Structure 1
């Protein structure tokens, strides 16, 4: 791996955040996650039909993570060999592709804009792009809840976790995390098809997100204290009271923090492929969920990214001074 000094890593992370703020993931630029998804699909078609589901799922996880790590290591090493600044640029771009602050905001705003125009059918369509549940019959409040939950949960998956692993190992480790997260999103389901085959991917994703999820919960509480001091106490109480009720060991923390901060209740009845699922209810229903809560959650998302940026720049400047 190409080793950088601490100030270099900090400035790389700050630069990646700025790049994501500005351009996000433009469609004209090839995205590594697309290639990871195709690579997962290639091996899934070959391994899933076999009878030893769990063993082959472990093999799938090993193949995808090791190849993603090795390829990015080779790419960044070659770029740094050509010229150090070229190495910086490749690291910067690759790290920025593992985070999705602007992408999350844009996807959530597509739902909000359609709800604001009263275009419920279109809002259901765009919500369906970002959640796994059935959206065909959801009303405005349920569409808003689904979007808020997605933005809250992905503040971990698409922001803090990849930055955390980029801090530990620059682009190679950030891409390894993104490969694991993509595996989980493709095969980490608890249904008849994937419950054994996706076991390793889902468990590894839980392990990698464990610390970043708790850091995210703390950051959401701090951001809530900056925006509305009283809401920070509710966010903290909500995490303590409800986060452990979520079926995921990690997702309940950011969702409970956002629910407490906004004074709403997340969770409830969801429908997946026609089957009804009761999700743990997080937070206190001080009021009904409204479409404006999407805006509030985006504000918390960006607040977390500003907090991280401030910490990176202060740490870098302090080290240099």
Structure 2
């Protein structure tokens, strides 16, 4: 597994997610959308019925996208072990999203450098759930930085940790939960009950990886000669100041490292959602903070890879 994970990470660093390549997460998304419609027809409306439907949606989706790749890999291995090796490395590479996150977040940076705030808001809208139409330049920067910091866990370190444990099948199972949360894990009228199981499972699976990522991001701040001491202080103080138990773990470390304040109240689907602030506003955010946040993500990812590789080696040595 050490070699597979290292190769997959290297491929993600080099190639990212090519637009011409159909991504497996789109398959998961289409499955979720179709199954949701079917379950809504079969389960009664209301709190109990929707929660039961949401639980079925989560369990069936996770099991399917664990056992399906597991079965395919087993079948391919019977043809030739090297074919299974190559296929699993390719799938693991697709599960990671470091370069694509950097590419998409830097589109906001490029628009800001061209003084095109309208385009920056549009680029940001593809990355975040909040309303972006009326955000100021500073708010656009902070939203982009928050996305980079939060998705360091969801897109890189957490799937890396799960794949180190259970290869591509467990990686797909994690991404299934992650995709469920992004599609149905909202606290609005439509998904308040149906999305409960998916949102809670996402919180459970990310609980440990998010805290590991936060600590690694603090270490990255020291290595990059950002404000590592403030990153550590903010991590200790603000890492639980979020509606999610996991999102602020890396956001707090990032805010402290950069010396800016993240979080606060924002509009989602036309309604204000109150969130606590994270970090201290030692200065106003600037476009360069987007590039700095990406460096933090990159170094955090490298440290996580090194840690997982060491963990695999020790586990192999002991067992």
State the distance in 1 between where 2:311 and 2:288 align.
35
* 2:211 equivalent in structure 1: 214
**How far apart, in 1, do the equivalents of 2:302 and 2:205 lie?**
23
Give the Cα separation in 2 of the matches to 1:123 and 1:47. Answer: 38
In the alignment of these two chains, the number of paired residues is: 311
Q: Which runs of 5+ in 2 are unaligned?
A: none
Question: Deviation of residue 192 (structure 1)?
Answer: 1.3
Query: Residue 220 of structure 1: SS of its match in structure 2?
Result: helix
Is 1:55 aligned to residue 52 of structure 2?
yes
2:55 match: secondary structure: helix
1:29 paired residue number: 21
| Structure 1, unaligned runs of 5 or more | 1-8
Partner of 2:94: 97
TM-score, normalisation: structure 2: 0.94
Q: Contact 1:11/1:316 (CA < 8 Å) preserved in 2?
A: no
Q: Please list, as runs of the form range in 1=range in 2, the aligned pairs for 1:1-321 lying within 5 A after superposition.
A: 9-49=1-41, 50-51=44-45, 52-228=49-225, 231-311=227-307
Pairwise CA distance, 1:317 = 7.8
Normalising by structure 1, report the TM-score.
Answer: 0.93
**Aligned residues of 1:234 and 1:260 also touching (Cα < 8 A):** yes
Cα distance in structure 2, aligned partners of 1:298 and 1:146: 13
CA distance in 1 between counterparts of 2:283 and 2:229 reads: 17
Task: Identify if the C-alpha distance between structure 1 residues 189 and 96 changes in structure 2 by more than 3 Å, giving closer, same or farther.
Answer: same
State the Cα distance separating 1:10 from its structure 2 match. 1.2
The match for 1:3 is: none
Deviation per CA, 1:110-144: give whole Å up to 9, x if none: 00000000111111110000000010111111110
Quick one: structure 1 residues 309 and 167, their matched pair in 2 at CA, closer, same or farther if it must change by over 3 Å? Answer: closer
